[in-house]
C-alpha cells in the first residue's frame, strides 16, 4: 500500500512521502513521531453543540428515540476526551466539507445508540463507539474536494482515490495516538471492510466489531442522504431492507441490522422479530449508490492521465 501524495498531519508534520510503502515499520515510525498527547474534553467545544444538534435530524427520528435514551447518549458524549489534534482535524473538516463533518457526527450518534442497546449482549461500550466513530472518516479531508464534493457518480479512478481515505485516516491516527493507536486506528482502516471479504482496502473477513458497527451505520447514512445524482434518497424502510439484503449475503452482522428494524418498528430492543421475505421496499429510481461512472482518465506508470475526447 502507498499514497499518491505526501501526507501531512494537521500540525503540518510530513508523515508519509508519496510512494512510500506503508507497512508495520512505517506505521511504527509514524507513531513514534507523536509527542506528548494532550487529551481535551469535548464539552465546551462546538463539537459538543454540533453532536447534540444531530439528534434533531428528522431522517433519524425513528431511530433516535426515546428522549431518555437520547439524554443518556448525550451524557456519554459530554464525557468524551479526544486528542487535541483530532479536535483540530474535525474543525478543519467542518470548514472544508461540512457534509462530511455532519456525516461523521451522525455516525457517532447512531453507533452510540446501537452500542448502548447492545452493551450487554454484544459487549459494546457506548463511549468507545462514539469516540471511534468520530475518527472513522478523518482521511476524507485529504481527498481532493473535486472528488469529495462531486455532484455525479465517481469514475473508477476517482473512486480509487476516494477509497484511500481509510488508509489515510489509519496513518493519521497512528500519529495522533502514538504507541497506543491500534484499536483507535482500526475504526478508520476497517470501516469499509465487509464480513464476506467484499470490502476494502484489504478485503478481510475478520473485522474489529466497532469498525463493523460503524460500517453499518455509515452505509445507512449514505443511503438516507440527499445526493445530487439521484432524485431522492432511500426511505428509512428501503435503506434498512437494503442492509438486510446485505446481511443475508453475509456482508453485515444480522443482529445489528435487526436492531435497526426494531427501532423503525418501534419495538423494544431484543424483542423477537419476524422478518418478511417478500414485499421489501425498493430503492429509489435513478439510484446510483455504489455505481461507477465511465472513466475519464487512464493509469499509466502509476499516474492518472486524462483520456482525450474522441
Task: Catalog residues that contact Fe ion under the rule CB under 5 A.
Answer: 137, 218
Per the document, the length of the chain is: 310
User: Judged by CB, which is closer to Fe ion: 121, or 156?
Assistant: 156
Q: Least CB distance from residue 145 to Fe ion, whole Å?
A: 16
Nearer to Fe ion, 78 or 229 (CB): 229
Q: How far is CA 258 from CA 69, 217, 232, 264, 274, in A?
A: 18, 13, 25, 10, 10
Find the helix or strand (DSSP H, E) in which 236 lies: helix 236-248
Nearby residues of 74 by Cβ (< 8 Å), 6 or more positions away: 51, 52, 55
User: Nearer Cβ to Fe ion, position 158 or 218?
Assistant: 218
In the complex, least distance from residue 107 CB atom to Fe ion, rounded to whole angstroms: 6
Q: Are 201 and 192 in contact (CB under 8 A)?
A: yes
Pick between residue 165 and residue 174 the one whose CB is nearest to Fe ion.
Answer: 165
Taking the least distance from each CB to Fe ion, the nearer of 200 and 296 is 200
CB of 93 to Fe ion, least distance (A): 11
Contact 119, 125 (CB under 8 A): yes
Q: How far is the CB of 120 from Fe ion (least distance, A)?
A: 27
Residue pair 182/189 in contact by the 8 Å Cβ criterion: no
Q: How far is the CB of 166 from Fe ion (least distance, A)?
A: 6
**Closer residue to Fe ion in complex, CB, 1/71:** 1
- Is 172:83 a contact under the CB 8 Å cutoff? no
Tell me how far apart the alpha carbons of residues 182 and 11 are, in angstroms, rounded to a whole number.
21
Least Cβ distance, residue 103 to Fe ion (angstroms): 6
For residue 190 the three cell numbers come to 476497517
Output the nine-digit C-alpha cell for 161: 482515490
Amino acid at each position: 500500500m502507498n499514497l499518491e501524495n505526501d501526507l501531512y498531519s494537521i500540525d503540518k508534520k510530513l508523515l508519509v512521502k508519496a510512494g512510500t510503502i506503508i507497512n508495520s515499520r512505517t506505521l511504527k515510525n509514524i507513531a513514534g513521531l507523536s509527542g506528548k498527547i494532550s487529551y481535551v474534553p469535548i464539552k465546551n467545544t462546538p463539537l459538543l453543540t454540533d453532536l447534540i444538534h444531530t439528534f434533531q435530524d428528522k431522517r433519524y427520528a425513528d431511530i433516535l428515540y426515546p428522549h431518555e435514551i437520547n439524554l443518556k447518549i448525550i451524557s456519554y458524549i459530554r464525557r468524551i476526551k479526544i486528542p487535541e489534534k483530532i479536535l483540530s482535524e474535525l474543525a478543519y473538516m467542518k470548514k472544508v466539507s461540512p457534509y462530511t463533518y455532519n456525516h461523521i457526527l451522525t455516525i457517532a450518534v447512531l453507533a452510540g445508540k446501537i452500542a448502548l442497546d447492545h452493551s450487554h449482549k454484544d459487549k459494546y461500550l457506548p463511549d468507545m463507539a462514539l469516540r471511534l466513530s468520530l475518527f472513522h472518516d478523518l482521511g476524507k479531508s485529504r481527498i481532493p474536494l473535486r472528488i469529495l464534493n462531486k455532484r455525479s457518480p465517481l469514475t473508477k479512478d476517482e473512486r480509487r482515490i476516494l477509497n484511500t481515505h481509510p488508509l489515510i485516516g489509519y496513518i493519521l491516527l497512528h500519529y495522533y495516538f502514538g504507541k497506543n493507536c491500534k484499536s483507535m486506528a482500526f475504526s478508520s482502516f476497517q470501516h469499509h471492510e465487509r464480513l464476506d471479504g467484499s470490502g476494502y482496502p484489504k478485503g478481510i473477513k475478520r473485522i474489529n466489531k466497532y469498525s463493523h458497527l460503524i460500517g453499518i451505520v455509515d452505509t445507512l447514512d449514505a443511503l438516507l442522504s440527499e445526493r445530487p445524482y439521484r432524485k431522492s434518497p432511500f426511505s428509512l424502510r428501503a435503506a434498512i431492507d437494503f442492509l438486510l439484503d446485505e446481511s443475508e449475503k453475509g456482508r453485515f452482522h444480522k443482529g445489528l441490522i435487526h436492531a435497526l428494524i426494531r427501532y423503525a418498528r418501534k419495538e423494544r430492543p431484543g424483542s423477537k422479530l419476524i422478518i418478511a421475505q417478500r414485499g421489501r421496499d425498493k430503492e429509489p429510481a435513478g439510484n446510483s449508490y455504489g455505481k461507477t461512472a465511465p472513466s475519464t482518465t487512464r493509469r499509466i506508470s502509476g499516474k492518472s492521465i486524462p483520456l482525450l475526447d474522441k
